[in-house]
Structure 1
Amino acid sequence: MMKLAVVETKLLTREPGALFSLLIPLFILVVFGSSIQPGDTVLLPMALAIAVGLVALYLVPTTLATYRERGILRRLSVTPVKPGSLLVVQLLLQLVLAVTACGLLMVVAGTVLKAHLPTGVLSGLLVFGLGTASMFAIGLLIAALAPNGRSANGFGVLLYFPMAYLAGLMQPPGQMPAIVARIGEYTPLGAFRQSLADVWAGNAPSPVLLGVMALYALVVGAAAAVFFRWE
Protein backbone atom coordinates (compact mmCIF):
# COMPACT_ATOMS: atom_id res chain seq x y z
CA MET A 1 0.00 0.00 0.00
CA MET A 2 2.82 2.43 0.89
CA LYS A 3 4.65 1.77 -2.39
CA LEU A 4 1.40 2.30 -4.27
CA ALA A 5 0.85 5.58 -2.44
CA VAL A 6 4.34 6.79 -3.39
CA VAL A 7 3.82 5.91 -7.06
CA GLU A 8 0.38 7.54 -7.19
CA THR A 9 1.71 10.66 -5.46
CA LYS A 10 4.40 11.04 -8.13
CA LEU A 11 1.81 10.62 -10.88
CA LEU A 12 -0.49 13.18 -9.27
CA THR A 13 2.28 15.78 -9.00
CA ARG A 14 2.87 15.42 -12.75
CA GLU A 15 -0.83 15.85 -13.54
CA PRO A 16 -1.52 19.34 -14.97
CA GLY A 17 -5.02 19.21 -13.50
CA ALA A 18 -3.55 19.09 -9.99
CA LEU A 19 -1.68 22.35 -10.57
CA PHE A 20 -4.81 23.79 -12.19
CA SER A 21 -6.85 22.95 -9.07
CA LEU A 22 -4.30 24.70 -6.87
CA LEU A 23 -3.77 27.83 -8.94
CA ILE A 24 -7.23 28.71 -10.30
CA PRO A 25 -8.87 29.31 -6.87
CA LEU A 26 -5.74 31.17 -5.74
CA PHE A 27 -5.83 33.32 -8.88
CA ILE A 28 -9.48 34.19 -8.25
CA LEU A 29 -8.73 35.06 -4.63
CA VAL A 30 -5.75 37.27 -5.47
CA VAL A 31 -7.40 39.04 -8.42
CA PHE A 32 -10.48 39.94 -6.41
CA GLY A 33 -8.58 40.18 -3.13
CA SER A 34 -8.06 43.92 -3.39
CA SER A 35 -11.76 44.29 -2.59
CA ILE A 36 -11.54 42.20 0.57
CA GLN A 37 -12.30 44.11 3.74
CA PRO A 38 -11.07 42.85 7.14
CA GLY A 39 -14.54 41.51 7.97
CA ASP A 40 -15.28 40.00 4.54
CA THR A 41 -17.13 36.67 4.81
CA VAL A 42 -17.88 36.06 1.14
CA LEU A 43 -14.85 35.75 -1.13
CA LEU A 44 -12.71 33.27 0.79
CA PRO A 45 -15.57 30.78 1.39
CA MET A 46 -16.34 31.02 -2.33
CA ALA A 47 -12.71 30.31 -3.23
CA LEU A 48 -12.60 27.32 -0.86
CA ALA A 49 -15.76 25.86 -2.40
CA ILE A 50 -14.31 26.38 -5.89
CA ALA A 51 -11.12 24.53 -4.92
CA VAL A 52 -12.95 21.51 -3.54
CA GLY A 53 -15.35 21.49 -6.49
CA LEU A 54 -12.52 21.43 -9.02
CA VAL A 55 -10.80 18.48 -7.36
CA ALA A 56 -14.02 16.54 -6.86
CA LEU A 57 -15.60 17.07 -10.27
CA TYR A 58 -12.48 17.18 -12.43
CA LEU A 59 -9.60 15.16 -10.99
CA VAL A 60 -11.47 12.40 -9.14
CA PRO A 61 -13.69 11.17 -12.00
CA THR A 62 -11.13 11.74 -14.76
CA THR A 63 -8.38 9.82 -12.97
CA LEU A 64 -10.48 6.82 -11.99
CA ALA A 65 -12.28 6.54 -15.33
CA THR A 66 -8.94 6.75 -17.15
CA TYR A 67 -7.49 3.97 -15.00
CA ARG A 68 -10.46 1.75 -15.83
CA GLU A 69 -10.28 2.67 -19.53
CA ARG A 70 -6.60 1.69 -19.70
CA GLY A 71 -7.24 -1.62 -17.94
CA ILE A 72 -5.15 -0.69 -14.90
CA LEU A 73 -7.88 -1.67 -12.44
CA ARG A 74 -8.44 -4.99 -14.22
CA ARG A 75 -4.74 -5.83 -14.20
CA LEU A 76 -4.43 -4.96 -10.52
CA SER A 77 -7.18 -7.48 -9.71
CA VAL A 78 -4.76 -10.35 -10.40
CA THR A 79 -1.93 -8.91 -8.31
CA PRO A 80 -1.47 -8.63 -4.52
CA VAL A 81 -2.40 -4.95 -4.91
CA LYS A 82 -6.18 -5.06 -5.28
CA PRO A 83 -8.10 -2.39 -7.21
CA GLY A 84 -9.81 -1.30 -3.99
CA SER A 85 -6.42 -0.29 -2.60
CA LEU A 86 -5.84 1.97 -5.58
CA LEU A 87 -9.27 3.53 -5.10
CA VAL A 88 -8.55 4.25 -1.43
CA VAL A 89 -5.12 5.71 -2.19
CA GLN A 90 -6.50 7.89 -4.96
CA LEU A 91 -9.29 9.28 -2.78
CA LEU A 92 -6.84 10.03 0.03
CA LEU A 93 -4.45 11.78 -2.36
CA GLN A 94 -7.26 13.83 -3.87
CA LEU A 95 -8.38 14.75 -0.35
CA VAL A 96 -4.83 15.86 0.49
CA LEU A 97 -4.81 17.95 -2.69
CA ALA A 98 -8.12 19.60 -1.73
CA VAL A 99 -6.85 20.30 1.80
CA THR A 100 -3.60 21.70 0.39
CA ALA A 101 -5.47 24.00 -2.00
CA CYS A 102 -7.71 25.27 0.81
CA GLY A 103 -4.79 25.66 3.19
CA LEU A 104 -2.92 27.71 0.60
CA LEU A 105 -5.96 29.93 0.12
CA MET A 106 -6.30 30.55 3.84
CA VAL A 107 -2.61 31.32 4.30
CA VAL A 108 -2.58 33.83 1.44
CA ALA A 109 -5.87 35.37 2.54
CA GLY A 110 -4.80 35.68 6.17
CA THR A 111 -1.25 36.95 5.62
CA VAL A 112 -1.17 38.81 2.30
CA LEU A 113 -4.76 40.00 2.01
CA LYS A 114 -5.42 40.37 5.75
CA ALA A 115 -8.80 38.70 5.31
CA HIS A 116 -11.02 37.60 8.17
CA LEU A 117 -10.47 33.99 9.27
CA PRO A 118 -13.05 32.09 11.32
CA THR A 119 -12.59 31.23 14.98
CA GLY A 120 -15.03 28.28 14.95
CA VAL A 121 -12.47 25.60 14.11
CA LEU A 122 -14.64 22.59 14.93
CA SER A 123 -17.66 23.84 13.00
CA GLY A 124 -15.36 24.74 10.11
CA LEU A 125 -13.88 21.24 10.06
CA LEU A 126 -17.36 19.70 10.18
CA VAL A 127 -18.54 21.80 7.24
CA PHE A 128 -15.39 21.07 5.27
CA GLY A 129 -15.67 17.33 5.92
CA LEU A 130 -19.32 17.08 4.91
CA GLY A 131 -18.93 19.40 1.93
CA THR A 132 -15.92 17.53 0.61
CA ALA A 133 -17.59 14.16 1.15
CA SER A 134 -20.71 15.24 -0.77
CA MET A 135 -18.69 16.61 -3.68
CA PHE A 136 -16.36 13.59 -3.83
CA ALA A 137 -19.42 11.32 -3.89
CA ILE A 138 -20.60 13.09 -7.05
CA GLY A 139 -17.14 12.73 -8.58
CA LEU A 140 -17.19 9.00 -7.82
CA LEU A 141 -20.61 8.63 -9.43
CA ILE A 142 -19.33 10.33 -12.58
CA ALA A 143 -16.35 7.96 -12.58
CA ALA A 144 -18.71 5.00 -12.15
CA LEU A 145 -20.94 5.95 -15.07
CA ALA A 146 -18.48 7.49 -17.56
CA PRO A 147 -17.21 5.06 -20.22
CA ASN A 148 -13.75 6.62 -20.36
CA GLY A 149 -11.55 9.38 -18.97
CA ARG A 150 -12.41 11.93 -21.63
CA SER A 151 -16.14 11.60 -21.07
CA ALA A 152 -15.64 11.72 -17.30
CA ASN A 153 -13.76 14.99 -17.76
CA GLY A 154 -16.56 16.34 -19.96
CA PHE A 155 -19.33 15.28 -17.58
CA GLY A 156 -17.47 16.79 -14.64
CA VAL A 157 -16.99 20.14 -16.39
CA LEU A 158 -20.59 20.21 -17.66
CA LEU A 159 -21.87 19.53 -14.16
CA TYR A 160 -19.49 21.92 -12.43
CA PHE A 161 -20.53 25.14 -14.14
CA PRO A 162 -24.31 25.00 -13.56
CA MET A 163 -23.68 23.75 -10.03
CA ALA A 164 -21.22 26.60 -9.42
CA TYR A 165 -23.75 29.13 -10.69
CA LEU A 166 -26.54 27.80 -8.49
CA ALA A 167 -24.14 27.73 -5.55
CA GLY A 168 -23.40 31.44 -5.92
CA LEU A 169 -19.78 30.97 -6.98
CA MET A 170 -20.13 32.90 -10.24
CA GLN A 171 -22.52 35.56 -8.99
CA PRO A 172 -23.16 36.57 -5.36
CA PRO A 173 -26.42 34.98 -4.15
CA GLY A 174 -27.73 38.43 -3.23
CA GLN A 175 -27.64 39.40 -6.90
CA MET A 176 -29.42 36.24 -8.07
CA PRO A 177 -33.20 35.74 -8.32
CA ALA A 178 -34.40 34.75 -4.86
CA ILE A 179 -35.86 31.42 -5.99
CA VAL A 180 -32.64 30.48 -7.83
CA ALA A 181 -30.50 31.35 -4.81
CA ARG A 182 -32.81 29.32 -2.59
CA ILE A 183 -32.64 26.30 -4.86
CA GLY A 184 -28.86 26.68 -5.00
CA GLU A 185 -28.56 26.29 -1.24
CA TYR A 186 -29.89 22.75 -1.55
CA THR A 187 -27.25 21.66 -4.03
CA PRO A 188 -24.17 20.09 -2.41
CA LEU A 189 -21.88 22.90 -3.56
CA GLY A 190 -24.40 25.56 -2.56
CA ALA A 191 -24.92 24.07 0.90
CA PHE A 192 -21.14 23.89 1.25
CA ARG A 193 -20.59 27.53 0.28
CA GLN A 194 -23.41 28.82 2.47
CA SER A 195 -22.24 26.79 5.46
CA LEU A 196 -18.69 28.09 5.02
CA ALA A 197 -20.05 31.64 4.84
CA ASP A 198 -21.98 31.04 8.08
CA VAL A 199 -18.82 29.83 9.82
CA TRP A 200 -16.87 32.84 8.51
CA ALA A 201 -19.57 35.16 9.83
CA GLY A 202 -19.24 33.61 13.27
CA ASN A 203 -22.60 31.83 13.10
CA ALA A 204 -23.40 28.18 13.62
CA PRO A 205 -23.90 26.37 10.30
CA SER A 206 -27.50 25.50 9.49
CA PRO A 207 -28.39 21.94 10.61
CA VAL A 208 -30.57 21.68 7.49
CA LEU A 209 -27.67 22.43 5.18
CA LEU A 210 -25.40 20.08 7.12
CA GLY A 211 -28.06 17.43 6.63
CA VAL A 212 -28.24 18.24 2.91
CA MET A 213 -24.50 17.63 2.51
CA ALA A 214 -24.61 14.44 4.57
CA LEU A 215 -27.54 13.14 2.54
CA TYR A 216 -25.77 13.78 -0.76
CA ALA A 217 -22.65 12.06 0.55
CA LEU A 218 -24.56 8.96 1.67
CA VAL A 219 -27.04 8.60 -1.19
CA VAL A 220 -24.79 9.56 -4.09
CA GLY A 221 -21.86 7.68 -2.55
CA ALA A 222 -24.01 4.54 -2.27
CA ALA A 223 -25.10 4.93 -5.90
CA ALA A 224 -21.47 5.27 -6.98
CA ALA A 225 -20.60 2.05 -5.12
CA VAL A 226 -23.44 0.19 -6.83
CA PHE A 227 -22.59 1.34 -10.35
CA PHE A 228 -18.79 1.39 -10.13
CA ARG A 229 -17.09 -0.99 -12.57
CA TRP A 230 -13.52 -2.16 -12.26
CA GLU A 231 -13.22 -2.88 -15.99
Structure 2
Amino acid sequence: MTKLAVVELKLLVREPGAVFSLLIPLFILVVFGSSIEPGDTVLLPMALAIAVGLVGLYMLPTTLATYRERGILRRLSTTPVRPANLLVVQVLLQLVLALAACGLLIAVAGAVLGAHLPTRVLPGALTFLLGTAAMFAIGLLIAALAPNGRSANGIGVLLYFPLAYLAGLMQPASQMPAIVAAVGEYTPMGAFRLSMQDVWAGGVPDPLPLGVMAAYALVVSVLAARFFRWE
Protein backbone atom coordinates (compact mmCIF):
# COMPACT_ATOMS: atom_id res chain seq x y z
CA MET A 1 0.00 0.00 0.00
CA THR A 2 2.84 2.41 0.85
CA LYS A 3 4.63 1.82 -2.46
CA LEU A 4 1.36 2.28 -4.30
CA ALA A 5 0.73 5.56 -2.48
CA VAL A 6 4.20 6.84 -3.39
CA VAL A 7 3.73 5.95 -7.07
CA GLU A 8 0.28 7.53 -7.20
CA LEU A 9 1.56 10.66 -5.45
CA LYS A 10 4.27 11.09 -8.08
CA LEU A 11 1.67 10.72 -10.83
CA LEU A 12 -0.63 13.21 -9.11
CA VAL A 13 2.13 15.80 -8.78
CA ARG A 14 2.79 15.56 -12.53
CA GLU A 15 -0.89 15.87 -13.39
CA PRO A 16 -1.73 19.32 -14.90
CA GLY A 17 -5.22 19.11 -13.41
CA ALA A 18 -3.76 19.03 -9.91
CA VAL A 19 -1.89 22.27 -10.61
CA PHE A 20 -5.05 23.89 -11.95
CA SER A 21 -6.97 22.77 -8.85
CA LEU A 22 -4.44 24.68 -6.76
CA LEU A 23 -4.03 27.76 -8.94
CA ILE A 24 -7.55 28.52 -10.20
CA PRO A 25 -9.10 29.13 -6.74
CA LEU A 26 -5.96 31.05 -5.73
CA PHE A 27 -6.22 33.22 -8.85
CA ILE A 28 -9.88 33.99 -8.09
CA LEU A 29 -9.03 34.83 -4.49
CA VAL A 30 -6.15 37.15 -5.40
CA VAL A 31 -8.02 38.93 -8.20
CA PHE A 32 -11.18 39.57 -6.21
CA GLY A 33 -9.40 39.80 -2.87
CA SER A 34 -7.46 42.93 -3.76
CA SER A 35 -10.31 44.96 -2.29
CA ILE A 36 -11.19 42.52 0.46
CA GLU A 37 -12.24 43.95 3.80
CA PRO A 38 -10.51 42.64 6.94
CA GLY A 39 -13.82 41.35 8.30
CA ASP A 40 -15.05 39.79 5.05
CA THR A 41 -16.69 36.40 5.61
CA VAL A 42 -17.81 35.68 2.04
CA LEU A 43 -14.92 35.57 -0.44
CA LEU A 44 -12.65 33.02 1.21
CA PRO A 45 -15.44 30.49 1.93
CA MET A 46 -16.42 30.82 -1.74
CA ALA A 47 -12.83 30.13 -2.83
CA LEU A 48 -12.63 27.12 -0.53
CA ALA A 49 -15.82 25.67 -2.03
CA ILE A 50 -14.43 26.23 -5.53
CA ALA A 51 -11.23 24.38 -4.62
CA VAL A 52 -12.95 21.36 -3.08
CA GLY A 53 -15.44 21.24 -5.95
CA LEU A 54 -12.66 21.14 -8.56
CA VAL A 55 -10.94 18.23 -6.84
CA GLY A 56 -14.11 16.27 -6.13
CA LEU A 57 -15.95 16.77 -9.42
CA TYR A 58 -13.03 16.93 -11.84
CA MET A 59 -9.81 15.36 -10.56
CA LEU A 60 -11.19 12.32 -8.71
CA PRO A 61 -13.66 10.98 -11.30
CA THR A 62 -11.38 11.67 -14.27
CA THR A 63 -8.49 9.77 -12.68
CA LEU A 64 -10.51 6.72 -11.67
CA ALA A 65 -12.44 6.47 -14.94
CA THR A 66 -9.18 6.77 -16.88
CA TYR A 67 -7.63 3.96 -14.84
CA ARG A 68 -10.60 1.70 -15.60
CA GLU A 69 -10.53 2.67 -19.29
CA ARG A 70 -6.84 1.74 -19.54
CA GLY A 71 -7.41 -1.59 -17.82
CA ILE A 72 -5.29 -0.68 -14.80
CA LEU A 73 -7.96 -1.74 -12.32
CA ARG A 74 -8.48 -5.03 -14.15
CA ARG A 75 -4.75 -5.81 -14.21
CA LEU A 76 -4.41 -5.02 -10.53
CA SER A 77 -6.98 -7.69 -9.75
CA THR A 78 -4.41 -10.31 -10.81
CA THR A 79 -1.68 -8.97 -8.51
CA PRO A 80 -1.29 -8.82 -4.72
CA VAL A 81 -2.26 -5.13 -4.97
CA ARG A 82 -6.05 -5.23 -5.04
CA PRO A 83 -8.04 -2.64 -7.05
CA ALA A 84 -9.73 -1.52 -3.83
CA ASN A 85 -6.32 -0.44 -2.51
CA LEU A 86 -5.88 1.88 -5.48
CA LEU A 87 -9.33 3.32 -4.89
CA VAL A 88 -8.52 4.05 -1.23
CA VAL A 89 -5.15 5.57 -2.11
CA GLN A 90 -6.69 7.80 -4.78
CA VAL A 91 -9.39 9.09 -2.43
CA LEU A 92 -6.80 9.84 0.26
CA LEU A 93 -4.45 11.59 -2.19
CA GLN A 94 -7.29 13.68 -3.59
CA LEU A 95 -8.20 14.59 -0.02
CA VAL A 96 -4.61 15.72 0.53
CA LEU A 97 -4.86 17.78 -2.67
CA ALA A 98 -8.05 19.44 -1.44
CA LEU A 99 -6.39 20.15 1.91
CA ALA A 100 -3.37 21.63 0.16
CA ALA A 101 -5.56 23.86 -2.02
CA CYS A 102 -7.55 25.10 0.98
CA GLY A 103 -4.42 25.56 3.09
CA LEU A 104 -2.82 27.64 0.34
CA LEU A 105 -5.93 29.81 0.08
CA ILE A 106 -6.08 30.40 3.82
CA ALA A 107 -2.36 31.17 4.03
CA VAL A 108 -2.46 33.70 1.18
CA ALA A 109 -5.68 35.26 2.43
CA GLY A 110 -4.31 35.73 5.94
CA ALA A 111 -0.69 36.63 5.22
CA VAL A 112 -1.02 38.59 1.97
CA LEU A 113 -4.56 39.92 1.79
CA GLY A 114 -5.03 40.50 5.50
CA ALA A 115 -8.33 38.59 5.49
CA HIS A 116 -10.14 37.61 8.64
CA LEU A 117 -9.42 34.03 9.72
CA PRO A 118 -11.67 32.07 12.06
CA THR A 119 -10.56 31.00 15.50
CA ARG A 120 -12.86 27.98 15.80
CA VAL A 121 -10.95 25.09 14.29
CA LEU A 122 -13.32 22.19 14.99
CA PRO A 123 -16.41 23.63 13.23
CA GLY A 124 -14.23 24.50 10.25
CA ALA A 125 -12.72 21.00 10.16
CA LEU A 126 -16.17 19.38 10.42
CA THR A 127 -17.50 21.54 7.59
CA PHE A 128 -14.50 20.75 5.42
CA LEU A 129 -14.80 17.00 5.98
CA LEU A 130 -18.54 16.87 5.32
CA GLY A 131 -18.30 19.12 2.27
CA THR A 132 -15.40 17.15 0.86
CA ALA A 133 -17.16 13.85 1.53
CA ALA A 134 -20.28 15.08 -0.27
CA MET A 135 -18.41 16.30 -3.36
CA PHE A 136 -16.12 13.27 -3.43
CA ALA A 137 -19.20 11.03 -3.32
CA ILE A 138 -20.54 12.76 -6.43
CA GLY A 139 -17.13 12.37 -8.06
CA LEU A 140 -17.11 8.65 -7.28
CA LEU A 141 -20.59 8.28 -8.78
CA ILE A 142 -19.37 10.02 -11.95
CA ALA A 143 -16.41 7.64 -12.06
CA ALA A 144 -18.78 4.70 -11.60
CA LEU A 145 -21.05 5.68 -14.46
CA ALA A 146 -18.66 7.26 -16.98
CA PRO A 147 -17.43 4.86 -19.69
CA ASN A 148 -14.01 6.52 -19.93
CA GLY A 149 -11.84 9.33 -18.60
CA ARG A 150 -12.94 11.85 -21.20
CA SER A 151 -16.60 11.26 -20.39
CA ALA A 152 -15.90 11.59 -16.67
CA ASN A 153 -14.13 14.87 -17.36
CA GLY A 154 -17.04 16.17 -19.39
CA ILE A 155 -19.69 15.07 -16.89
CA GLY A 156 -17.71 16.63 -14.04
CA VAL A 157 -17.45 19.95 -15.86
CA LEU A 158 -21.15 19.89 -16.82
CA LEU A 159 -22.10 19.31 -13.18
CA TYR A 160 -19.56 21.71 -11.72
CA PHE A 161 -20.75 24.92 -13.32
CA PRO A 162 -24.49 24.60 -12.55
CA LEU A 163 -23.69 23.54 -8.98
CA ALA A 164 -21.22 26.40 -8.59
CA TYR A 165 -23.80 28.89 -9.87
CA LEU A 166 -26.58 27.60 -7.62
CA ALA A 167 -24.17 27.67 -4.67
CA GLY A 168 -23.45 31.35 -5.20
CA LEU A 169 -19.85 30.84 -6.25
CA MET A 170 -20.17 32.68 -9.57
CA GLN A 171 -22.50 35.38 -8.34
CA PRO A 172 -23.11 36.34 -4.70
CA ALA A 173 -26.23 34.63 -3.39
CA SER A 174 -27.55 38.02 -2.25
CA GLN A 175 -27.70 39.11 -5.91
CA MET A 176 -29.44 35.95 -7.15
CA PRO A 177 -33.21 35.42 -7.43
CA ALA A 178 -34.52 34.34 -4.05
CA ILE A 179 -35.82 30.98 -5.26
CA VAL A 180 -32.50 30.16 -6.98
CA ALA A 181 -30.54 31.09 -3.88
CA ALA A 182 -32.87 28.94 -1.77
CA VAL A 183 -32.38 25.94 -4.07
CA GLY A 184 -28.63 26.48 -3.97
CA GLU A 185 -28.59 26.03 -0.21
CA TYR A 186 -29.55 22.39 -0.73
CA THR A 187 -26.65 21.64 -3.08
CA PRO A 188 -23.41 20.27 -1.61
CA MET A 189 -21.43 23.34 -2.70
CA GLY A 190 -24.08 25.72 -1.40
CA ALA A 191 -24.27 23.97 1.95
CA PHE A 192 -20.46 23.99 2.14
CA ARG A 193 -20.30 27.72 1.41
CA LEU A 194 -23.01 28.54 3.93
CA SER A 195 -21.37 26.52 6.69
CA MET A 196 -17.95 28.02 5.98
CA GLN A 197 -19.43 31.51 6.11
CA ASP A 198 -20.86 30.71 9.54
CA VAL A 199 -17.41 29.54 10.64
CA TRP A 200 -15.75 32.67 9.25
CA ALA A 201 -18.30 34.83 11.05
CA GLY A 202 -17.15 33.25 14.31
CA GLY A 203 -20.25 31.14 14.84
CA VAL A 204 -21.25 27.50 14.66
CA PRO A 205 -22.56 26.14 11.34
CA ASP A 206 -26.30 25.72 11.09
CA PRO A 207 -27.31 22.04 11.43
CA LEU A 208 -29.35 22.09 8.20
CA PRO A 209 -26.47 22.59 5.71
CA LEU A 210 -24.36 20.14 7.71
CA GLY A 211 -27.17 17.61 7.39
CA VAL A 212 -27.46 18.33 3.66
CA MET A 213 -23.77 17.57 3.15
CA ALA A 214 -23.95 14.43 5.27
CA ALA A 215 -26.99 13.21 3.31
CA TYR A 216 -25.23 13.73 -0.03
CA ALA A 217 -22.13 11.96 1.26
CA LEU A 218 -24.10 8.94 2.50
CA VAL A 219 -26.70 8.48 -0.23
CA VAL A 220 -24.47 9.22 -3.21
CA SER A 221 -21.65 7.04 -1.81
CA VAL A 222 -24.06 4.11 -1.62
CA LEU A 223 -25.08 4.71 -5.24
CA ALA A 224 -21.44 4.98 -6.31
CA ALA A 225 -20.61 1.68 -4.62
CA ARG A 226 -23.64 0.07 -6.25
CA PHE A 227 -22.72 1.08 -9.79
CA PHE A 228 -18.90 1.11 -9.63
CA ARG A 229 -17.21 -1.20 -12.12
CA TRP A 230 -13.59 -2.38 -11.95
CA GLU A 231 -13.40 -3.06 -15.69
What's the TM-score once normalised by structure 1's chain length?
A: 0.99
Report sequence identity in percent: 81
Using the TM superposition, give the Cα deviation of residue 76 of structure 1 relative to its aligned residue in structure 2, in angstroms.
Answer: 0.1
Counterpart check, 1:173 vs 2:164: no
Using the TM superposition, give the Cα deviation of residue 34 of structure 1 relative to its aligned residue in structure 2, in angstroms.
Answer: 1.1
The amino acid across from 1:83 in the alignment is P
Using the TM superposition, give the Cα deviation of residue 35 of structure 1 relative to its aligned residue in structure 2, in angstroms.
Answer: 1.5
Residue aligning to 1:93: 93
> What is the alpha-carbon distance in structure 1 between the residues aligned to residue 203 and residue 182 of structure 2?
19
Gaps of 5+ in 1: none
Residue aligning to 2:199: 199
Using the TM superposition, give the Cα deviation of residue 108 of structure 1 relative to its aligned residue in structure 2, in angstroms.
Answer: 0.3
Residue aligning to 1:146: 146
CA RMSD of aligned residues (A): 0.4
How many residues end up aligned between the 2 structures? 231
The amino acid across from 2:28 in the alignment is I
Secondary structure of the structure 2 residue equivalent to 1:216: helix
Q: How does 1:126-165 map to 2 (within 5 A)?
A: 126-165=126-165
**Deviation sequence 1:163-193 (CA, Å, 0-9, x none):** 0000000000000001100100000110001
What's the TM-score once normalised by structure 2's chain length?
A: 0.99
Residue aligning to 1:25: 25
**Deviation sequence 1:103-159 (CA, Å, 0-9, x none):** 000000000000000111110000000000000000000000000000000000000
> What is the alpha-carbon distance in structure 2 between the residues aligned to residue 86 and residue 69 of structure 1?
15
> What is the alpha-carbon distance in structure 1 between the residues aligned to residue 107 and residue 188 of structure 2?
25
Secondary structure of the structure 2 residue equivalent to 1:35: coil
> What is the alpha-carbon distance in structure 2 between the residues aligned to residue 130 and residue 70 of structure 1?
31
The amino acid across from 2:84 in the alignment is G
Counterpart check, 1:226 vs 2:226: yes
> What is the alpha-carbon distance in structure 2 between the residues aligned to residue 168 and residue 201 of structure 1?
17
Residue aligning to 1:62: 62
The amino acid across from 1:59 in the alignment is M
> What is the alpha-carbon distance in structure 1 between the residues aligned to residue 9 and residue 33 of structure 2?
31
Residue aligning to 1:217: 217
Residue aligning to 1:6: 6
Q: How does 1:43-122 map to 2 (within 5 A)?
A: 43-122=43-122
Using the TM superposition, give the Cα deviation of residue 203 of structure 1 relative to its aligned residue in structure 2, in angstroms.
Answer: 1.8
Residue aligning to 1:124: 124
Which stretches of structure 1, 4 residues or more, deviate above 4 A after TM superposition? none
> What is the alpha-carbon distance in structure 1 between the residues aligned to residue 208 and residue 101 of structure 2?
27
